[in-house]
Amino acid sequence: MEKSRPLWANPLQFVFACISYAVGLGNVWRFPYLCQMYGGGSFLVPYLVMLIVEGMPLLYLELAVGQRMRQGSIGAWKTISPYLGGVGLASVVVSFFLSMYYNIINAWAFWYLFHSFQDPLPWSVCPLNDNHTGYDEECEKASSTQYFWYRKTLNISPSIQDSGRVQWEPALCLVLAWLVVYLCVLRGTQSTGKLEQLANPKAWINAATQIFFSLGLGFGSLIAFASYNEPSNNCQKHAIIVSLINSSTSIFASIVTFSIYGFKATFNYESCLNKVILLLTNSFDLEDGFLTASNLEQVKGYLASTFPGKYSEVLPQMRNCSLQAELATAVQGTGLSFIVYTEAIKNMEVSQLWSVLYFFMLLMLGIGSMLGNTAAILTPLTDSKVVSSHLPKEAISGLVCLVNCVIGLVFTMESGNYWFDIFNDYAATLSLLLIVLVETIAVCYVYGLRRFESDLEAMTGRGLNWYWKAMWAGVSPLLIVSLFVFYLSDYILTGTLQYQAWDAFQGQLVTKDYPPYALAVIGLLVASSIMCIPLVALGTFITRCLKRGDTPPAA
């Protein structure tokens, strides 16, 4: 199998594939949010600690397993122990869930990219109402960027219960996104500030989580990539390189994001002041130019004391303008990529150029991660003699992409964004923690750490130092258990799970409870991957007993 297995053209190609997979949208839209939430620069302390004790060791572990076993996730873990085939299967299931919804982000990026060539940008101004007597009411209550996202892009329904119909324009963009992924897959391996926050346990937990999911641990993609390496490849060096580049990208992205935050906050603050000045000038017949930002508060006090009745009538129409409040607004996910960034872009000079560059960058990040996710599904399938003997690789790739694309049409419905949030929040979190925990225990205590060390030394000519051994055998598993307990207790203490729904009449998001069937889907998403591990182990045990003519012992 080793002779017939395709190989990377050179180690650099492998490193770039890992970087393309690891550096994704989470670096752009989650890391800056966490920095803002947990003290700015001080968040780097727990982040870098978690990188050292969790990120690099677990990344090296998965690369080493893939390179040693030279198989996809299912075959690799079955080689370590026949009872561990469920670990690889769980990884494939999680990667399948991720692929189902992740590519809709690329579809949205295509949609915005196509609209970026218009002048003015379609999200820069509110459209006129049906009578052409003013602006659309929903857009006026929200903002032009929110309106374009929630109404023009998603055409979002008021709740998850109102499914609506498939939106054909985003659906076509989704088909295009999957076509790009399929064409890339066909080329195979030949192409492809507040220091008190340090005492906040959530800062450390979120730092660990960001490292964990940003590197893509547990999906099976890294094992799949490493399985195409030469056995002598120095995967230890590559694990360190990929980890550092991934983290450096996150830090660089946060610097850019905070610049955009500052630009947006200042612009919104000045715009708010100008509206208040215009309102007071017109309401009290003040001379143009008399009221300025510097004397606004003084004049407001004078007007309130001199004309209390009239001032009280105007007061409900006045917004409370605060630069600190604007700067303190923390947004992540699609809200950051498709609302906050676009609001900043629309106010820049040559906004069309910046918009094209920004959404092209999003596409490159998203498609790079999608190729890794798809590889995690395809590699075990093409390694399987049962599947590959009946279908060529091109057909297997096409079927996987087609199935994902058809299921992904759910996310183009009017309620699709709510289902996207469900998959994004619950499809992988607990599952990946358990998968990587079992992987670490399997290598250290089932296969044997000394035996694995000997294998690595025989392959690469380099032994393991105390750092890797200590992390694999003790520190990393204990950290994963802590994260698992935190997430489990957090889900339990949260009570009824809720989601943010768009209220067109108020022009803002409102909180609603998930209906029972949505909660059932959440349960299935979590259980379907986790249960693969014990069920496959049990099935293997029963099969072996039957082959020996024995019966399983009574409990």
195-241 pLDDT, tens digit each: 766 666 777 777 887 888 889 888 889 999 998 888 888 999 999 99
Q: Name 421's Cβ contacts closer than 8 Å, sequence gap at least 6.
A: 499, 500
Are the beta carbons of 210 and 47 closer than 8 angstroms? yes
Averaged pLDDT for residues 155-169: 93
Distance CA 61, CA 217 (A): 10
Q: What contacts 174, CB < 8 A, 6 or more positions away?
A: 103, 104, 107, 405, 408, 409, 411, 412
Band of the pLDDT at 189, cuts 50, 70, 90?
low
| DSSP character at residue 296 | H
Is the pLDDT score of 71 beyond 90?
no
Model confidence at 3, in pLDDT bands (50, 70, 90)?
A: very low
Residues 481/474, Cβ–Cβ less than 8 Å = no
Q: Which whole-number Å values give the CA distances from 81 to 40, 84, 427, in the listed order?
A: 45, 5, 26
Ranges 269-273, 331-335, 420-424, most confident: 420-424
Mean pLDDT of 152-164: 93
Q: pLDDT tens digit string along 456-501?
A: 999 888 888 999 999 999 999 998 898 888 877 877 777 778 898 9
Q: What pLDDT, on a 0 to 100 scale, did the predictor assign at position 196?
A: 60
* pLDDT confidence of residue 493: 76
Which pLDDT value is given to residue 333?
66
Q: Is the pLDDT of residue 140 over 80?
A: yes
Contacts of 475 (CB under 8 A, 6+ apart): 53, 57
What single letter denotes the amino acid at residue 2? E
Residue 126 is classified by DSSP as P
Residues 6+ apart with CB under 8 A from 549: none
Measure the CA–CA gap between 424 and 26, rounded to whole angstroms.
11
458 is known to lie in a ligand binding site? no
- Distance of alpha carbon 328 from alpha carbon 188, whole angstroms: 45
Amino acid at residue number 480: I
Is the pLDDT at 524 greater than 60? The verdict is: yes
Q: Give the lowest-confidence range in 416-420, 445-449, 544-548.
A: 544-548
DSSP conformational letter for 490: H
Alpha-carbon gap, residue 362 to 344, rounded angstroms: 16
pTM: 0.85
Name the packing angle between helices 516-530 and 532-547 (round to 10°).
50
Are 93 and 524 within 8 A, CB to CB? no
pLDDT of residue 555: 45
Q: CA–CA separation, 427 vs 293, rounded Å? A: 49
pLDDT of amino acid 2: 45
Residues 6+ apart with CB under 8 A from 249: 23, 27
* Per-residue confidence (pLDDT) for residue 192, from 0 to 100: 54
Q: Count other C-beta atoms under 10 Å from residue 73's C-beta.
A: 34
- Token look-up 């450390």 returns 204
| pLDDT of 1 higher than 80 | no
Instruction: Check whether 27 is labelled as a binding-site residue.
Output: yes
pLDDT of residue 336: 75
User: What is the pLDDT, as a whole number, of residue 551?
Assistant: 55
DSSP three-state, residue 110? helix
- The Cα 114–Cα 153 span in angstroms is 12
- Whether residue 23 is annotated as binding a ligand: the answer is yes
Nearest-angstrom CA–CA distance, 254 and 323: 20
pLDDT in tens, 336-370: 788 888 888 888 889 999 999 999 999 998 998 89
In angstroms, rounded to a whole number, what is the distance separating the alpha carbons of residues 395 and 348?
46
Query: Is 454 a known ligand-binding residue?
Result: no
Enumerate residues 6+ apart whose C-beta is below 8 A from 19. 242, 245, 246
Ligand-binding annotation for 22, yes or no, is yes
User: Contact, 369 vs 21, CB < 8 A?
Assistant: yes
Whether cis (ω within 30° of 0) applies to the bond prior to 120 is yes
The CA–CA distances, whole Å, from 274 to 277, 325, 327 equal: 5, 17, 18
Side-chain-side CA neighbours of residue 315 (13 Å): 12
Q: What is the mean pLDDT of the chain?
A: 87
Query: Rounded to whole angstroms, what are the CA distances from 361 to 109, 174, 358, 368?
Result: 9, 17, 5, 11
Least confident of 171-185, 235-249, 483-497: 483-497
Q: Would you say 424 is a known binding-site residue?
A: no
239 is in an annotated binding site: no
